[in-house]
A and B are shown apart, each in its own frame.
Chain A
Amino acid sequence: MGVSQHESGLQPGPGAKRAASGARPGSTAVSVSGVSKTFWRDGRPTQALHDIELGIASGEFVCLLGPSGCGKSTLLHIVAGFIAADEGQISAHGERVTGPGVDRCVLFQSPTLFPWLTSRDNVLFGPRSRGLDNEETRGRADALLATVGLGDFKDHYPHQLSGGMRHRAALARALINRPRILLMDEPFAALDAITREQMQNFLLDLWQRERMTVLFVTHDVEEAALLSDRVCIMSPRPGRIVDIVDIELARPRDEALRDTAEFVALRHELRKRLASA
């Protein structure tokens, strides 16, 4: 695997407070500073996020790991621009986030394909909505569908695809816009174990080739360890980033990694830190 002892897979986190400036060298893709969010329902407040600091370098793969209900989705939706933070600032590639933008594409737990469109028309939705339907984009849509293994399913409707295929179609639909940042909200959580592993491997491959910035939300320790360069561990509500762990497993990573002693130890360590968060 190219990594010596299993200790080296894990570097102690530098601590949450340093995070905003703690993006790795290179340009900053996402910067979140001092973000808090409280939801009000029936006059009762739920504080979902408290003073979040997070910096993500361009091309970095960062996981948000935390228990269910700790505010991971809320943070992702704020970065996506779907909801506004009560306090704090978010910027993407230096520009303040004030709403959704094509530079940041979100993938949800359900693939949310448009059921009335074929896979190909789903992929073309983004360009068409911006009046960019031409020979070139159509060619790119076909190429992307082939990349995600749906070359023979271009004219199929979502209900005719399997769960994994739908997720791959959703990925192709996101990638056609060439987003610099992918925001993924537990995208594989609803899949069966085998399909989930396939999708994780597929994502590793894709990231290795494209090197886009990814913010990936999960509550699965193994998934976080396998995919990320850095894992941000969140505390239960109100969500705060309490620990940041650098994952220094060599890349490219693949299937075989899952069974190495190094990986198992890393998983164990992450689980321990999550429990004490």
Chain B
Amino acid sequence: MSASPATEVPGILRASSGAARHWLISIASVVAGLIVWQVAAQFVIRDPVLLPTPVATVGVLIRYLGMPYPSGGETLIGHALTSLGRVVAGFAIGSFIGIAIGAMMAGFRSFRAVVDPFIEITRPLPPLAFVPVLIVWFGIGEAPKIILIAAGVVPVMAISTAAGLDGIPGEMLNCARCLGASEWYTMIHVRIRAAMPQIITGMRLSMGLSWTSIVAVEMIAATAGLGFVILQAGQFLDTSLIFAGILIIALLGLGLDACLRRLQRHLDPTMRP
């Protein structure tokens, strides 16, 4: 059976485990994507303003890593750190508030009835829509930027926290009680602990959302940040710098998600191989 031709795969793939195989295929897919991009930009589009090649994009990225943009401004590293700071601050504040609201929703039926409509209404709203009103309310400093990110995070975290806490079978709580755990101990070590994997899933979702709104956030009179760089470069048709900014956002997003995924694996043994 094992020698059937259908299962013949190149040695490197056959020898590897399922996870390693998955990785190899993913890496091959990224490399293929880059090659298609390079070929399309270089031989089909042939206009760096319309579509720069990946090689040119990386070149611009490296050049501006240490060079201020615009002149007198931050380097790309500085812009990246500024955006990262905003995203992390907004994400942390939003998660904290969202988890608290979600826990109350799971605990009190009437509280859920009160906040449910607000969550359902705010969840699908585009962050861009709030930019003018946030400027009116909070001015043009850091506050409206962080609030805008946090506002996107809160409903997602509230929903996933409430769902995580709701999803615990009553039998498990009864079980903890008859093993001698107090109500308080059961709350912390069973109820919240059991909801952790789902709360982290909510965090991964909202971390993605936070990066999604960074450009909208940095339309608020920003003088630094990757969203600002992208908007600025767009006005000068500096397409390769736009792509460089997007690339950094993608890499930062991936990095933060990898941290959360690690945490999730640590907290949920069923996710480990």
Q: For window 194-212 of chain B, which residues contact chain A by CB distance below 8 Å? A: 194, 196
User: Which of A82, A99, A129 is the most central at the interface, judged by chain B CB atoms within 10 Å of its CB?
Assistant: A129
- The reply to whether B182 and A129 form a contact with Cβ atoms under 8 Å apart is yes
Query: Cβ of A116 and Cβ of B175 under 8 Å apart?
Result: no
| B177 contact set on A, CB distance < 8 A | 82, 99-100
- Asked if A114 is an interface residue, CB under 8 A from chain B, the answer is yes
* Complex interface bits, B173-206 against A, C-beta within 8 A gives 1, otherwise 0: 0111111111001100110011010000000000
Decide if B179 touches A173 in the complex (CB within 8 Å).
yes
Q: Least Cβ distance of B251 to chain A in Å?
A: 31
Count of residues in A whose CB is under 8 Å from the partner chain? 27
Return chain B residues, CB-CB under 8 Å to A105: 178-179
Q: Which of B169, B176, B196 contacts A125 (CB 8 A)?
A: B176
B contact residues around A68 at 8 Å (CB): none
- A146-189 near B? 1/0 per residue, CB < 8 Å: 00000000000101000000000000011001000000000000
Chain B residues contacting A159 (CB-CB under 8 Å) are 269-270
Expressed in whole angstroms, the minimum distance between the Cβ of A116 and any Cβ of chain B is 6
Query: Smallest CB-CB separation from B269: which chain A residue?
Result: A157
A159 to B269, CA, bound (A): 8
CB distance A126 to B179 under 8 Å? yes
Judge if A112 is at the interface, Cβ distance under 8 Å: yes
Q: Given A125-B181, A126-B180, A174-B179, check contact A106 B174 (CB 8 Å).
A: yes
Closest B residue to A108 by CB, please name it.
B171
Indicate which residue in B169, B193, B268, B269 contacts A112 across the interface (CB closer than 8 Å).
Answer: B169
Interface assignment of B172: CB less than 8 Å from any CB of chain A: yes
CA of A253 to CA of B174, assembled, Å? 32
Q: Point out the residues of chain A lying under 8 angstroms from B185, CB to CB.
A: 129
Interface contact B269-A115, CB-CB below 8 Å = yes
Contact B190 A114 (CB under 8 A): yes
Query: Which B residue's beta carbon lies closest to that of A80?
Result: B178
Determine chain A's interface SS by DSSP, over half rule: loop
* A106→B180 CA distance, assembly (Å): 11
Is the contact region of chain B dominated by helix, strand, or loop, or is it mixed? helix
Q: Is the CB of A114 within 8 A of B178?
A: no
> When the two chains form their complex, are residues B178 and A106 in contact, meaning their CB atoms are under 8 A apart?
yes
What residue in chain B is nearest A156 (Cβ atoms)?
B269
Which B residues are CB-close (under 8 A) to A120? none
Given contacts A126-B180, A129-B181, contact A100 B268 (CB under 8 A): no
Which residue of the partner chain, among B169, B176, B270, contacts A129 with CB atoms under 8 Å?
A: B176
Give the most central of A82, A99, A101, A157: most B CB within 10 Å: A82
CA distance A99 to B270 in the complex (A): 33
Least distance between A260 CB and chain B CB atoms (Å): 36
B135 within 8 A of A: no
Instruction: Point out the residue from B172, B175, B180, B190 that lies within 8 Å of A102, measured CB to CB.
Output: B180
A72 contacts the other chain (CB 8 A): no
User: Are A116 and B179 within 8 A (Cβ)?
Assistant: no
Cross-interface CB contact of B179 among A81, A99, A125, cutoff 8 Å: A125
Chain A residue numbers with a CB within 8 Å of B175 are 106, 108, 112
Q: Is A37 an interface residue (CB 8 A)?
A: no
Q: A91 in the interface, Cβ–Cβ < 8 Å?
A: no
Min distance, Cβ A12 to any Cβ of chain B, angstroms:
35
**Contact present for A100 and B178 (CB under 8 Å):** yes
A66–B180 alpha-carbon span in the complex (Å):
30
- Distance between Cα atoms of A116 and B197 in the complex (Å): 10
- Counting CB contacts under 8 A, is B58 at the interface? no
Q: Which of A88-145 contact B (CB under 8 A)?
A: 99-102, 104-106, 108, 110, 112, 114-116, 125-127, 129-130
Report whether B180 and A129 are in contact in the complex, using a CB–CB cutoff of 8 Å.
yes
User: Chain B nearest CB: distance from A254 CB in Å?
Assistant: 30
Name B178's contact: one of A104, A115, A116, A157 (CB within 8 Å): A104
Which positions 126-178 of chain B face chain A at CB distance < 8 Å? 169, 171-172, 174-178
Query: Mind listing 27 A-B residue pairs with CB under 8 Å?
Result: A80-B178, A81-B178, A82-B174, A82-B177, A100-B177, A102-B179, A105-B179, A106-B174, A106-B178, A108-B171, A112-B169, A112-B171, A112-B172, A114-B190, A116-B194, A126-B180, A126-B181, A129-B176, A129-B179, A129-B180, A129-B181, A129-B189, A130-B180, A130-B181, A157-B270, A159-B269, A174-B179
Q: Lowest 6 A-B CB distances belong to which pairs?
A: A129-B181, A126-B179, A100-B177, A157-B269, A102-B180, A100-B178
